[in-house]
Structure 1
Amino acid sequence: MLVEAIPIIFVIVGFILIAPLEGALEMVEILPALVLVILILAVGLINVFMRLRETLAIGNISNEAKAAILTTTLIGVSLISAIPIVSIVAILIMLA
């Protein structure tokens, strides 16, 4: 899934760049990567919640099914958020 591929690449590149750094990078140098990771995270989360809204709009869904759908959605949100959060932390480490 494209939503996860780009942050994985940022994690790998980020950790490769952290090791040989002589000094801290400036915010201007890491801002494009940081903005891109946040945008990708936002697109992924928006997509999940749009699908949730479409699914719940069907109408004749039992309460048990709604609870299962919501639980699955929240698990998906946590999985989609994991890699971008690691990417953001790695990028911010490069500021130190």
Structure 2
Amino acid sequence: MQDPFVARAYELKSTLLTMEQEAGDEDLFSIGYMIPQLELVLEMAEYDPDNVETEDFDQTYQDWLEVAFDQDGMDQSDRHRTRQLWQQALSRTHNATEARDQ
């Protein structure tokens, strides 16, 4: 059985890479910031693969981003835009997953 936490990370990475290709210059920083954070979350997260759901990755990643923002001293406008794009990535990934599963 595939680890849902890892699977979700790779689904979101695919979405973010697509978004990066489509992005205007104003969004490249935020999207480029989020992509490598996915791998860091996978490296650092402690969880039981037998007791995890895809949504657990979403929350873990969002929490991770908030800590990373503080550690990196990201300004409020960049934080806001990154959060917006994260929500967009979640929505696009959800829609793609639903379409695939039908």
What is the TM-score with the length of structure 2 in the denominator?
Answer: 0.38
Higher RCO (CA < 8 A, seq sep 6+): 1
What is the TM-score with the length of structure 1 in the denominator?
Answer: 0.40
Between Structure 1 and Structure 2, which shows a larger proportion of helix residues?
Answer: 2
**Which protein has the larger Cα radius of gyration, Structure 1 or Structure 2?**
1
